[in-house]
Chains A and B, each alone.
Chain A
Amino acid sequence: GQNIDQPTEMTATEGAIVQINCTYQTSGFNGLFWYQQHAGEAPTFLSYNVLDGLEEKGRFSSFLSRSKGYSYLLLKELQMKDSASYLCAYSGNTPLVFGKGTRLSVIA
């Protein structure tokens, strides 16, 4: 079964900030990825965390706590084009184990 969990859906307002959480359990851990996937398209890479702490990249930031098995993706200054699914995945003994994704809807 799935040992990586994230909320199924979230809604946020244009211009606001949203945080998408991800929790995981694994014995072998090499890093935590976040991908964005627009409907009908392939996932595209957003961020990668291997050490604890916050990684910032423009409007997107990702945080990791290895001891807690916890990560979050922070999206600032939301735009309508940010409406998409956000996939959390850890790299362990297989290339990537994905969560089921969080569908984010940005509303005006």
Chain B
Amino acid sequence: KAGVTQTPRYLIKTRGQQVTLSCSPISGHRSVSWYQQTPGQGLQFLFEYFSETQRNKGNFPGRFSGRQFSNSRSEMNVSTLELGDSALYLCASSLSRTGKYNEQFFGPGTRLTVL
């Protein structure tokens, strides 16, 4: 079974631009979560989507948004990029079955550099 895939793997943008990152979950997984990882803050939760609906949201500004499609693929968008948005963006998928813990499987990440 293929793992979580993320595209692109590396991205360089300049301040003020916007960026869209893509994530394809493991087949059969309906929950997709996004995290931002920086050396200073570690892994921070951005949002979670389940069945095309945002189920949870972290403490990030409205410049960060996302969506999920009917095939469970997800995209996240960051508008008006700032230097501090430079980070590794990780996507994780899980089965999200009721009553069971949901081990999250991570993708390789997208390394975003904002100049």
Known contacts A30-B101, A94-B58, A96-B33; A41/B108 CB under 8 A? yes
Say yes or no: is B42 at the interface (Cβ < 8 Å to chain A). Answer: yes
The answer on a CB contact under 8 Å between B42 and A31 is no
The answer on a CB contact under 8 Å between A42 and B90 is yes
Residues of chain A lying within 8 A (CB to CB) of residue B35: 96, 98
The answer on a CB contact under 8 Å between A43 and B101 is no
The answer on a CB contact under 8 Å between B42 and A98 is yes
- In B62-115, the 8 Å CB interface with A consists of 90, 92, 94, 101-109
Nearest chain B residue, comparing its CB with the CB of A41? B108
Known contacts A50-B101, A95-B45, A96-B104; A42/B58 CB under 8 A? no
Most chain B CB inside 10 Å of its own CB: which residue of A33, A97, A98:
A98
Which of B41, B56, B90, B104 interacts with A93 by CB under 8 Å? B56
Interface extent on B, as a size class?
20 to 34
- In A51-108, the 8 Å CB interface with B consists of 87, 89, 91, 93-101
Residues of chain B lying within 8 A (CB to CB) of residue A50: 101
Which of B41, B101, B109 interacts with A31 by CB under 8 Å? B101
Say yes or no: is B19 at the interface (Cβ < 8 Å to chain A). Answer: no
The answer on a CB contact under 8 Å between A45 and B90 is no
The answer on a CB contact under 8 Å between A42 and B56 is no
Residues of chain B lying within 8 A (CB to CB) of residue A44: 106
Known contacts A97-B45, A99-B42; A42/B104 CB under 8 A? no
Nearest chain B residue, comparing its CB with the CB of A43? B106
